[in-house]
Chain A
């Protein structure tokens, strides 16, 4: 063998194995992400050429350009990357827990519940970012907690979680449909735009709490990831390896729901990233399990690219980014599936 297919890293008592292909794929994805982020910072009604962007980052830019980049465009661009990664990790956790490629944080009803929360807030006359964020968090967390409690009996089983999740989500979907049908058209439309997921008008003050929450939860996930891999082998096997199965599953659910919650509170329920990014990552790396770092990079690139299109592709119209993510993610998944092996 001339080139090793796996790199082994050692640092003190820790060691890790990284397949070569994962390194290459991650590098390429990082390139895509950086290019898309640069484009997001450059494009707009006030276009900033690349050399000026470099100058701005070097502290040499004009005042106006610096303001546009750091105050106007950076919050949205950074949020797109961080939130995309968060949704992808959340999806990877739930697909691992349920051992089902259709698993996603949606099965614990967070998105549906948060939409119900926001609809109630908007119907009650609440306006503005903080009202919707509060409504989304309260609705989503309450729903996830109820589903977990109803599904928990003699331990948490993936199958029962799925069924209870579908049952309660369906009821809340009905509530949402009912409110949407009954509400005044303008209010219903405003709620529906939020429900599609959008990064429009995002400021640092809105984005930072979400970004900090994602950072903390991702750190927790790094520590929980080895136990998650053991759980994929089955509860009994994991227990024999010394994993405390029920607390670990609860911790993973909390991290997964937390990641989705942080994103949804700020940007609304952006769909499909959580479902598609882990599956895309698995097909890109050709590994049996989902590589978390690759999934996160796929999610970040997907959301950044989608937001770029949502902002600029349709002149004069700003489409909610959630409507674009499903198109881009769906087309990409289709393309991967149509290629012959």
Chain B
């Protein structure tokens, strides 16, 4: 797809940015995330001062404020960081992998699979508790991606023919089928619809206990795999033939990439519901800052995606104070204006 021409054009400007400037920017991004984390601990329907937050973390005395920080805000913030990183990095991976700016981590069927499993659980198996959603959603996500890969490989006559375009189309088609069945099941029964409209909004608050423990391992594993892929993805950006000539094992790289995306997006979706905008958009914004080198894109995304998610979550607590908006509803409102400013400033070349 000629989409690849675009990041390439930007390189001419941004490769002149010395690595030292990028390191400075990376530190700025880390600082932003740190500020967001602290704000996320302090701000809420009950504002808690910064010294009290510190006390709660270092020397808890069992007071109400300390309990709020330790029992509610810390898990919420940790989940926000994990889910944000997972959505962002999986988005960066899938866009580099498919070389398509419209690709989001859900394109391999993860979101549709997770949603389908939860709908089936609610509509047909009588599942009503949120702690039951997590294993269902994660299993659904993994199965859907495995199915997408199997179908793509079958039609292509083996793993060698599983091109990104093929995976994209199979992913879109399978997502559509699962989504169609989900929506039919949802719309036929008011009670199912009622459960699903809340799951579909995406939230990191009021998660059942143990949520973080059950997804953290998968997300960390996914992040490690993503970093391993970075160098090979750079070579793949030059075209498959060139990558092979440079010694990249194309099939192994693709499988690693798919496994990483599935672990990251699947675990995050299972824990927080489908939060759409982060994975699609943060990598775009980051690419305009860094150029097409995945070894820079991935760390920047790793820091900025959780920042966007946490800032959105904080805004969600403030706009309808003392009530709250689900973070999935707010992310687009924080991220989209920034994105539009950036794209209007960028000299984007034709697609």
Contact = CB atoms under 8 A, between A and B. Distances in A.
Interface size class of A (residues with CB under 8 A): 35 or more
Contacts of B184: 319-320, 323-324, 327
Interface string A317-334: 101101111110111011
Interface string A97-109: 0111111000100
Contact of A174 (B179, B329, B337, B340): B329
B181 interface: yes
Contacts of B201: 177-178, 181
A178 B326 CA distance: 8
Contacts of B335: 167, 170
Contacts of A234: 350
B118 to A, nearest CB: 16
B256 interface: no
B197 A180 contact: yes
B340 to A, nearest CB: 5
Contacts of A171: 332-333, 336
A153 B173 CA distance: 34
Interface in B19-72: none
A277 to B, nearest CB: 12
A35 B16 CA distance: 63
A340 B332 CA distance: 41
A312 to B, nearest CB: 14
A110 interface: no
Nearest to B150: A338
A323 B173 CA distance: 13
Contacts of B340: 150, 163-164, 167-168
Interface string B131-148: 000000000000000000
Contacts of A319: 184, 187-188
Interface in B142-189: 151-152, 154-155, 157, 165-166, 168-170, 172-177, 179-181, 183-184, 186-188
B193 A338 contact: no
B165 A159 contact: no
Contact of A330 (B103, B155, B177, B337): B177
Contact of B193 (A170, A177, A185, A330): A185
A48 interface: no
A326 B112 CA distance: 12
A170 B350 contact: no
Contacts of B193: 185, 188-189, 192
Contacts, number: 182
A163 B284 contact: yes
B221 interface: no
Contacts of A170: 276-277, 280-281, 331-332, 335-336
Interface size class of B (residues with CB under 8 A): 35 or more
Given A150-B340, A174-B330, A162 B276 contact: no
Interface in B337-351: 337, 339-340, 343-344, 348-351
B1 A164 contact: no
Contacts of A325: 180
Contacts of A162: 101-102, 351
B102 A100 contact: yes
A116 to B, nearest CB: 13
A337 B181 contact: no
A337 B170 contact: yes
Interface in A173-222: 173-174, 177-178, 180-181, 185-186, 188-189, 192-193, 196
Contacts of A185: 190, 193-194
A287 to B, nearest CB: 17
B187 A338 contact: no
B325 interface: yes
Contact of B100 (A102, A160, A333, A340): A102
Contacts of B194: 185
Contact of B343 (A164, A235, A329): A164
Contact of A167 (B101, B336, B350): B336
Given A102-B102, A166-B281, A319-B188, A340 B173 contact: no
Nearest to B198: A181
A189 B195 CA distance: 12
A73 B326 CA distance: 44
Contacts of B197: 177, 180-181, 188, 192
Contacts of A196: 183, 187
A334 B173 contact: yes
A157 interface: yes
Contacts of A331: 173, 177
A272 interface: yes
Interface string A294-327: 0000000000000000000000010110111111
B330 to A, nearest CB: 7
9 tightest A-B contacts by CB? A330-B176, A326-B180, A158-B351, A170-B332, A330-B177, A167-B336, A327-B180, A159-B351, A333-B173
Given A157-B350, A173-B276, 17 more contacts: A100-B351, A102-B100, A157-B349, A163-B348, A167-B340, A168-B336, A170-B280, A170-B335, A188-B193, A189-B187, A235-B350, A319-B184, A322-B180, A323-B183, A330-B175, A330-B176, A334-B170
25 contacts: A100-B3, A101-B1, A101-B168, A103-B102, A157-B349, A157-B351, A159-B348, A162-B102, A163-B340, A164-B343, A171-B333, A178-B325, A180-B197, A185-B193, A188-B197, A189-B187, A192-B187, A317-B188, A319-B184, A320-B184, A323-B180, A326-B180, A334-B177, A337-B151, A338-B151
Interface of A: 98-103, 107, 150, 153, 157-160, 162-164, 166-168, 170-171, 173-174, 177-178, 180-181, 185-186, 188-189, 192-193, 196, 234-235, 271-272, 275-276, 279, 317, 319-320, 322-327, 329-331, 333-334, 337-340
